[in-house]
């Protein structure tokens, strides 16, 4: 065969192969890509427009059919080098995964279902949250599910707790952060949605306190926590749109004051600030019960407990009652926490201590008249 004939044959064969390639269907399974604005993603906590998380415990929930793999594609606002997230599959205990900007495969422990004749595909609920009180920014770009998976609506619980506080509520010093803190544990026990707006070192009074530029009386009403001050890409605050809390909080719990006391805020000034704060809360939460925690104090090795702002919290509750607001309740936590329940070097509750506080508050709520949901709504 001459060179010209060989070249012609080669060209014909290449064209034929290309045509066959174009004609052949692509049978490779393609993953399901979910955009970050998909209405079936149930966001909870505080998210900015990127969207990115602020405040410990902020995250999202997914309800999916035929799910066995999950990848989070995260953007540049994610904490560098990584952020710790908590993951729970089908309401099992949360476990920790470290994620960073880029693609992150999340271990689910779910088996692939290969039976295509199965009429009812298995359904799964995956709950994810940023568990740290700092370095907790997760910038969600897309979610990737396995081929054949389908995202379904998530129905939130009828109960929804909002917890407001400082390090004693945010899970500071705990291995799994807020996921081991008493507010989170209480919400789980009641099968409720729960949002924790708590910042270590923050006072209620709007003062600079232990690295915080604002107190909770200001920053509670903002999207960002006080970490905003230290971020080059987001060094400002924006108002939080409370209409984004779906459902709206059904119960509010406030445990605050330790950092006010450490800055020598006197009782009368603290009471005034607290009452102004509650009055502003009432413009959003008109009738919801508000539970005002007294401090459990700082337990010492010798059995004594350092107290602060004693009597102030009863004054706050009495003042609201005098205004006709009978839906504010005092939770007396005296004796709830002993030295065995705290880390000796910082007097913050340890892991068993947080569980103890949660158990005591759960019992208090049941005596008050609140019953846990019998099952999760989804």
Q: How far apart are CA 84 and CA 99, in angstroms?
A: 6
- Count of alpha carbons within 13 Å of 159, Cβ hemisphere only? 18
More confident residue, 19 or 134: 134
Please identify which residue in the block is written with the tokens 């232990």: 210
Cα separation, 84 vs 59, in Å, equals: 12
Retrieve residue 174's tokens.
């705990």
245/22: higher pLDDT = 245
Question: Phi-psi bin for 90: left (phi > 0), alpha (psi -120 to 50), beta?
Answer: left
Band of pLDDT at residue 307, cut at 50, 70 and 90: very high
Quote the pLDDT of residue 84.
98
CB atoms within 10 A of CB 1: 8
pLDDT, averaged across the chain: 93
Residue from 253, 274, 108, 99 nearest 184 by CA: 253
What is the pLDDT at residue 76? 97
Which residues lie closer than 8 Å to 201 by C-beta, 6 or more apart? Answer: 166, 167, 209, 210, 211, 212, 259
pLDDT of residue 70: 98
Q: Work out the percent of the chain whose per-residue pLDDT is above 90.
A: 88
| pLDDT (average), residues 348-370 | 98
Q: Environment class of residue 21 by beta-carbon count within 10 Å: exposed (0-12), middle (13-18) or buried (19+)?
A: exposed
CATH of 160-368, one of 3.80.10.10, 3.40.50.1110, 3.10.20.520, 3.30.67.10: 3.40.50.1110
Q: Which pLDDT belongs to residue 12?
A: 41
Model confidence at 111, pLDDT cuts 50, 70, 90, reads confident
The pLDDT value recorded for residue 24 is: 53
Task: Find the range with the poorest average confidence among 20-24, 67-71, 169-173.
Answer: 20-24
φ, ψ at 226 (rounded to 5°): -70, -5
* More confident position, 232 or 84: 84
CA 35 to CA 28: how far, in whole Å? 22
Q: How far apart are CA 227 and CA 236, in angstroms?
A: 10
Residues 6+ positions from 207 with CB-CB distance below 8 Å: 215, 263, 265
Using one digit for the tens of pLDDT, what is the confidence trace for 177-220? 999 999 999 999 999 999 999 999 999 999 999 999 999 999 99
What contacts 279, CB < 8 A, 6 or more positions away?
none
pLDDT tens digit sequence for 313-353: 999 999 999 999 999 999 999 999 999 999 999 999 999 99
Helices 267-281 and 312-322 pack at an angle, to 10 degrees, of: 40
DSSP per-residue string spanning 218-265: HHTTBSS-GGGGG-TT--S--B--GGGSSSPPSEEEEE--HHHHHTT-
Q: Do domains 32-152 and 160-368 have the same CATH topology?
A: no
Contacts of 377 (CB under 8 A, 6+ apart): 155, 156, 157, 158
- The residues spanned by each domain of the chain are 32-152, 160-368
Confidence class for position 11, pLDDT limits 50, 70, 90 = very low
Triad 9, 15, 21: Cα angle to 5°:
135
What per-residue confidence (pLDDT) applies to 205?
Answer: 98
Q: Tens digit of pLDDT for each residue in 33-67?
A: 999 999 999 999 999 999 999 999 999 999 999 99
Is a pLDDT exceeding 60 seen at residue 21? Answer: no
What distance in Å separates the CA atoms of residue 260 and residue 296, rounded to the nearest whole number? 15
Q: Which fold has domain 32-152?
A: Jelly Rolls (2.60.120)
Residue-level pLDDT at 7:
46
Specify the pLDDT at position 27.
65
Q: What is the largest CA-CA distance in the chain?
A: 107
Q: Give burial (CB, 10 Å; 0-12/13-18/19+) of 75.
A: middle
Upstream peptide bond of 247 is cis (omega within 30 degrees of 0): yes
The torsion angle over the Cα atoms of residues 174, 252, 372 and 124, rounded to 10 degrees, is -60
> Which tokens in the block code for residue 74?
């995260």
Q: How far apart are CA 174 and CA 183, in angstroms?
A: 13
The whole-number pLDDT of residue 20 equals: 46
């Amino acid at each position: 065969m001459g060179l010209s004939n060989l070249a012609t044959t080669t060209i014909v064969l290449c064209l034929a192969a290309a045509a066959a390639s174009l004609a052949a269907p692509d049978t490779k399974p393609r993953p399901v890509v979910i955009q970050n604005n998909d209405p079936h993603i149930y966001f909870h906590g505080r998210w900015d427009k990127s969207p990115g998380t602020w405040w410990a415990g902020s995250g999202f929930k997914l309800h999916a059919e035929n799910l066995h793999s999950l990848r989070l594609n995260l953007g540049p606002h994610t904490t560098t080098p990584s952020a710790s997230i908590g993951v729970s599959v089908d309401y099992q205990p949360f476990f920790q995964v470290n994620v960073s900007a880029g693609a992150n495969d999340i271990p689910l422990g779910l088996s692939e279902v290969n039976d295509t004749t199965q009429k009812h595909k298995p359904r799964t609920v995956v709950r994810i949250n940023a568990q740290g009180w700092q370095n907790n920014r997760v910038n969600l770009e897309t979610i990737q599910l396995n081929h054949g998976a389908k995202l379904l609506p998530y129905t939130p619980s009828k109960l929804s707790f909002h917890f407001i506080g400082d390090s004693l509520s945010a899970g500071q010093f705990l291995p799994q952060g807020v996921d081991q803190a008493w507010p989170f544990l209480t919400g789980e026990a009641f099968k409720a949605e729960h949002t924790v707006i708590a910042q270590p070192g923050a006072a209620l009074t709007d003062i600079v306190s232990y690295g915080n530029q604002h107190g909770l009386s200001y920053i509670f009403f903002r999207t960002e926590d006080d970490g905003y001050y230290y971020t080059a890409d987001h060094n400002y605050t924006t108002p939080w749109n409370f209409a984004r809390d779906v459902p709206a909080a059904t119960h509010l719990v406030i445990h605050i004051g330790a950092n006010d006391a450490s800055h020598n805020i006197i009782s009368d000034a603290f009471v005034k600030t607290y009452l102004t704060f509650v009055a502003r809360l009432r413009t959003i939460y008109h009738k919801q019960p508000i539970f005002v925690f007294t401090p459990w104090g700082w337990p010492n090795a010798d059995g004594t407990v350092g107290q602060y702002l004693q009597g102030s919290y009863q004054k706050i509750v009495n003042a609201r009652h005098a205004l006709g607001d009978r839906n504010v309740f005092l939770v007396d936590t005296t004796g709830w926490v002993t030295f065995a329940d705290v880390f000796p070097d910082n007097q913050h509750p340890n892991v068993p201590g947080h569980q103890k506080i949660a158990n005591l508050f759960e019992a208090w709520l049941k005596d008050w008249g609140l019953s846990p949901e019998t099952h999760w709504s989804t």
